[in-house]
Amino acid sequence: MTDFLRVYSETPLDGKYRILERLGTGGMGEVYKAEHVYLGAIRVIKVIRPQISGSQDANDRFLREARAATRVQHPNVAVLHDFSALPDGSHYMVWEYIDGENLAQRLRTRGTLPPAEAVRIAIEALRGLEAIHRAGIVHRDIGPENLMITHDGGNVKIIDLGVAKIESDVAVTQTGIFVGKLRYAAPEQLGFLPDNERIDARADLYSLGMVLYEMLAGRPPFEGKSPHEYLRIHSGDTALQLVDLKTLPGDASLQAILRKALARDRNKRFQSATEFIAALTMEQRTPSSAHREAAAPTVITAIGDAAPTVVTRRADGGVRPSWVVLFIALAVLAGLVYFFSRTPTTETAATITAAPPAQATPAETSVSVVAAPSKTEAVAPQPVATHTVAPVVTETPAPPPPTPQPQPTPAPAPHVEETHVAAYTEGGDGDANEPLLEHLRSQLHGVNRIALQAGAMQDELAKALQHEIPSLTIADSADVVIRFEGTLEHLGRGRKRRAATASVVKNGRVVFRYEMPSEEYRVGSTPVEAFTDVFSSAIDH
The per-residue b/e assignment along 171-210, b for 16 or more CB within 10 angstroms, e otherwise, is bbbeeeeebbbbbbbbbbbbeebeeeebbbbbbbbbbbbb
- What count of residues does the chain have? 541
Spatial distance between the Cα atoms of 75 and 67, rounded to a whole number of angstroms: 19
Q: Are 504 and 267 in contact (CB under 8 A)?
A: no
- Write down the pLDDT at residue 224: 73
Q: How far is C-alpha 534 from the geometric centre of its chain's CA atoms?
A: 10
End-to-end CA distance of the chain, in Å? Answer: 47
Residue 487 parent element (H or E): strand 480-492
Going from the C-alpha of 273 to that of each of 26, 137, 240, the distances in angstroms are: 27, 13, 22
Spatial distance between the Cα atoms of 6 and 536, rounded to a whole number of angstroms: 46
Q: Which CATH architecture is the domain 100-284 placed in?
A: Orthogonal Bundle (1.10)
3-state secondary structure of 114: coil
Q: Which amino acid is at 118?
A: A
Q: Are 210 and 121 in contact (CB under 8 A)?
A: no
Angle between helices 430-444 and 527-538 (to 10 degrees): 60
Spatial distance between the Cα atoms of 33 and 176, rounded to a whole number of angstroms: 33
Cβ neighbours of residue 419 under 8 Å, at least 6 residues apart? Answer: 509, 510
- Write down the pLDDT at residue 366: 40
3-state secondary structure of 100: strand
In which residue ranges of the chain is CATH 1.10.510.10 found? Answer: 100-284
What Rg value do the Cα atoms of the chain yield, rounded?
35
Half-sphere exposure of 482 (CA within 13 A, CB side): 32
Q: Are 190 and 230 in contact (CB under 8 A)?
A: yes
Q: Which CATH architecture is the domain 4-96 placed in?
A: 2-Layer Sandwich (3.30)
- Write down the pLDDT at residue 356: 47
423-538 fold: Double Stranded RNA Binding Domain (3.30.160)
Active-site entry in 57, 60, 141, 459:
141
User: ∠ CA 411-414-417 to the nearest 5 degrees?
Assistant: 155
141 is catalytic: yes
Q: How far is C-alpha 468 from the geometric centre of its chain's CA atoms?
A: 11
DSSP of 288-322: HHHHHHSPPPEEEE--TTSPPEEEEBPTTS-B-HH
Angle between helices 115-134 and 527-538 (to 10 degrees): 110
In which residue ranges of the chain is CATH 3.30.160 found? Answer: 423-538
Residue 204 parent element (H or E): helix 202-217
Output phi, psi for 76, to 5 deg.
-100, 15
Q: Characterise 246 by phi-psi region: left (phi > 0), alpha (psi -120 to 50), beta (else).
A: alpha
- Give the strand order in the sheet containing 17-25: 17-25, 29-36, 41-48, 91-96, 80-85
Measuring CA to CA, which residue among 136, 134, 200 is closest to residue 166? Answer: 136
What is the residue-level pLDDT of the chain in tens, covering all 541 positions?
557 888 898 899 999 999 999 988 766 678 999 999 999 999 999 888 776 666 676 677 677 778 878 888 899 999 999 998 888 878 898 999 999 999 999 999 999 999 999 999 999 999 999 999 998 889 988 999 999 999 988 899 999 875 555 554 434 433 344 455 778 988 888 888 888 888 899 999 999 999 999 999 888 887 777 777 777 777 665 444 445 566 677 778 898 899 999 988 899 999 999 999 999 998 776 554 433 344 344 343 444 444 444 444 444 444 455 555 666 777 767 666 665 555 444 443 433 344 444 444 444 444 333 444 444 444 444 444 444 444 444 455 556 666 655 555 544 555 555 556 889 998 877 778 888 988 998 899 889 999 999 999 999 999 999 988 989 999 999 999 999 999 999 888 778 899 999 999 999 999 999 999 998 877 778 999 999 989 988 887 6
DSSP alpha helix (H) spans, 93-193 = 103-110, 115-134
User: ∠ CA 460-494-486 to the nearest 5 degrees?
Assistant: 30
In which residue ranges of the chain is CATH 3.30.200.20 found? Answer: 4-96
Going from the C-alpha of 512 to that of each of 183, 418, 443, 515, 530, the distances in angstroms are: 38, 11, 9, 10, 15
- Write down the pLDDT at residue 2: 55
